[in-house]
Chains A and B, each alone.
Chain A
């Protein structure tokens, strides 16, 4: 009898493939299939309350959203500026947090666990907590400002388009900065101490050390964080939904809130799916840009 011998390399390949197969199948099922489904819905006139009218309409839903939808442009603009400001703020606050935790000597474990709390709370609950704080009548924020004598009468934060936007950005920052801080802390901890010691011997100041040692060393992790947070920020929904409902006068409405309105208020799965696909494409483009930057940086 002749046994077919596989060379060791091929055998290793088979083992490798079979080991990752479960993960790949799982991703296909929970990732790729829904994306494909959503895309195919987006090419149909698919309104649940009009089952008889269902049919293929090509790009009609997309054309409608881009040219006729009253709220598409404002929600796109809001989503982009929300992503821009909240990601920058989260990076800054997260970085400061990471530096503090890195330097701290006492009670580090406790601080690290405590800092995670906001991140572990579901978004809707975070939004409710902050809504109470921003409430014009009962909110602690007005109370504090009043006691300090900074304001004379209650400010209705969420009825003002500027402050409502600020409130949403701050709330999201509070929820998300722990993720940034811990990721960056992990990055900081991989930098060997010897680098700083020799820099000191060479007479480099703190700022020089930060620019020449800290930044280059955590750059890869910084970009990963940036990618994750941008993707998250572009999908902002729960905080806006609970805090402002998209108001005042639609000044905080976002793409995903509009998609939600199409899906669950109008039962219009065609337009809702087209909106979701557009969000998906925007996130894809952003990711590609980041990854390009990341790659060119490694070279």
Chain B
């Protein structure tokens, strides 16, 4: 009995220790006066530094501003996980957190809550250097609350050792898939992401807009259309015909990446990060050097290769006790020098226009020039005051259609109605 108690207690301790590990102590920041020369520390919440470019940029920044130290806190997990941590700090009015990487879809929500520092002056000074799409994601109520760091748009990755010219239409895509599936170790034609998370929204809105449909225009829901129905039917047919595995209904971008890098798929829709990892020799990728990147193909009723606009900005907390140093860090991270380091290391889309003509960038990533139009044409997700609420109903309704719990026709009608209801509730 005693032994048993000891085991129980020990395991309880293990469990609680494991729980403790999740909140490691953020390092303390040094309080300062207003003098520039006095050393200060700012705390930066960012993603995991997979490629080392975050460290590189911080080092450079600290060289240029020797009185500022950046305390970089790495956060793993997806956008939702990171949002939770950041909200916890912001809603407590905590001055520990100074600057953070901010998903483009958070800006309006955080700005409305009064959590972000106004950076209109800083952004206006460099406005002409940046692309228009990413800039618009920094604005809320005609005020700038963030500065762009990199942009994201869905792209088509293909096996350049098998496919010479990437497909430009859905029909071409399907034809190529049918030709090559079953040969050269190719098991699936096309892999994309349709798990009931933000992934299905990004992917389905692309299919819909590639086919000439749209989601919300001037506050009006216009998603209930034949173009939308055709887009859903196309995705369902791809799954039924074995061009796409049924598993796409449970996949997020990293699942897609693993299948594609394993050499099992001919085409893959992903964010550009997946290109650089797939091309990296000596890693998990079995297809290094055999990957091409192109705009997504267009549906029968569409004209534009329409990609969903994603990306990350830098924002400063409204509660920062180091507004000056924080703004300097924002300007630096958003500037050409820092973005160039990131483009070269991570193959992400820069928001600084001149980098698309930069010799060094084009030498290493020749496709950048060709993909700039993709980014220029990339479409933001519905721009409504409460994006997350409308995203929730889209996730559920879209997944209901793709799992065949409802017919395409009824499903699209319901999707449109639910979106209208949510927008009406927002008032």
A156 proximity list for chain B (CB < 8 A): 245-247, 249-250
Within 8 A of B (CB), among A234-259: 244-250
Contact B4 A189 (CB under 8 A): yes
Check B195 for interface membership: any CB of A closer than 8 A: yes
Chain A's nearest CB lies how many Å from the CB of B407?
13
Contact A49 B400 (CB under 8 A): no
A122 proximity list for chain B (CB < 8 A): 15, 18-19, 22
Contact A119 B91 (CB under 8 A): no
A265 proximity list for chain B (CB < 8 A): 80, 83, 388-389, 391-392
Chain B's nearest CB lies how many Å from the CB of A244?
7
In this complex, which of B4, B197, B391 has the most chain A Cβ atoms within 10 angstroms of its Cβ? B4
Contact A189 B1 (CB under 8 A): yes
What is the CA–CA distance of A244 and B418 in the complex, to the nearest angstrom?
A: 22
Check A288 for interface membership: any CB of B closer than 8 A: no
Check A211 for interface membership: any CB of B closer than 8 A: no
Looking across the interface, which residue of chain B has its beta carbon closest to that of A139? B247
Contact B396 A264 (CB under 8 A): no
Contact A249 B196 (CB under 8 A): yes
B113 proximity list for chain A (CB < 8 A): 48-51, 267
A264 proximity list for chain B (CB < 8 A): 80, 83-84, 87
Contact B14 A138 (CB under 8 A): no
A190 proximity list for chain B (CB < 8 A): 1
B209 proximity list for chain A (CB < 8 A): none
Check A60 for interface membership: any CB of B closer than 8 A: no
What is the CA–CA distance of A261 and B83 in the complex, to the nearest angstrom?
A: 12
Check A143 for interface membership: any CB of B closer than 8 A: no
Check A66 for interface membership: any CB of B closer than 8 A: no
Check A146 for interface membership: any CB of B closer than 8 A: no
Known: A120-B14, A249-B405. A159 touches B393 (CB 8 A): no
Check B130 for interface membership: any CB of A closer than 8 A: no
B392 proximity list for chain A (CB < 8 A): 261, 265-266
> Which of B7, B19, B388, B418 contacts A266, CB < 8 Å?
B388
B196 proximity list for chain A (CB < 8 A): 244-250
Contact mask A35-51 → B, CB, 8 Å, 1/0? Answer: 00000000000001111
B4 proximity list for chain A (CB < 8 A): 112, 182, 185-186, 189
B183 proximity list for chain A (CB < 8 A): none
Check A14 for interface membership: any CB of B closer than 8 A: no
> Which of A161, A186, A245 contacts B197, CB < 8 Å?
A245
Chain B's nearest CB lies how many Å from the CB of A248?
5
> Which of B1, B83, B114, B259 contacts A137, CB < 8 Å?
B259
Contact A51 B418 (CB under 8 A): no
Known: A136-B245, A154-B245, A250-B400. A109 touches B3 (CB 8 A): yes
Chain B's nearest CB lies how many Å from the CB of A167?
10
Check B354 for interface membership: any CB of A closer than 8 A: no
Contact A119 B400 (CB under 8 A): no
What is the CA–CA distance of A158 and B245 in the complex, to the nearest angstrom?
A: 13
Contact B195 A136 (CB under 8 A): no
Chain B's nearest CB lies how many Å from the CB of A77?
15
Check A116 for interface membership: any CB of B closer than 8 A: yes
B246 proximity list for chain A (CB < 8 A): 136, 156, 159
Chain A's nearest CB lies how many Å from the CB of B319?
14
Known: A70-B418, A156-B247. A135 touches B388 (CB 8 A): no
> Which of A113, A160, A189, A249 contacts B399, CB < 8 Å?
A249
Within 8 A of A (CB), among B210-267: 245-247, 249-250, 255, 258-259, 264
What is the CA–CA distance of A35 and B408 in the complex, to the nearest angstrom?
A: 44
Contact B80 A159 (CB under 8 A): no
What is the CA–CA distance of A49 and B246 in the complex, to the nearest angstrom?
A: 38
Contact A120 B11 (CB under 8 A): yes
Within 8 A of B (CB), among A63-103: 70-71
Contact B114 A51 (CB under 8 A): yes
Check B175 for interface membership: any CB of A closer than 8 A: no
B7 proximity list for chain A (CB < 8 A): 112-113, 116, 182
Check A121 for interface membership: any CB of B closer than 8 A: yes
Contact B83 A135 (CB under 8 A): no
Chain B's nearest CB lies how many Å from the CB of A172?
15
Contact A250 B396 (CB under 8 A): yes
Contact B396 A120 (CB under 8 A): no
Check B95 for interface membership: any CB of A closer than 8 A: no
Check B403 for interface membership: any CB of A closer than 8 A: yes
Contact A158 B11 (CB under 8 A): no
Check B8 for interface membership: any CB of A closer than 8 A: yes
Contact A247 B195 (CB under 8 A): yes
Within 8 A of A (CB), among B10-59: 11, 14-15, 18-19, 22
Residues of A with Cβ closer than 8 Å to B?
A: 48-51, 70-71, 109, 112-113, 116, 119-122, 135-138, 154, 156, 158-161, 182, 185-186, 189-190, 244-250, 261, 264-267
Enumerate the 9 nearest inter-chain pairs by beta-carbon distance, A residue then B residue, closest first: A247-B196, A136-B247, A159-B249, A49-B112, A249-B400, A265-B388, A156-B246, A158-B250, A120-B14
The contact sample of 28 A-B pairs, CB cut-off 8 A, is A48-B87, A49-B113, A50-B112, A71-B396, A112-B4, A116-B11, A122-B19, A135-B247, A137-B247, A137-B255, A137-B258, A159-B246, A159-B247, A159-B249, A182-B4, A182-B8, A186-B8, A189-B4, A246-B396, A247-B249, A250-B396, A261-B388, A264-B80, A264-B84, A265-B388, A265-B392, A266-B392, A267-B87
Known: A49-B386, A247-B196, A249-B196. 8 other contacts (CB 8 A): A120-B18, A182-B7, A244-B250, A245-B196, A264-B83, A265-B389, A266-B392, A267-B87
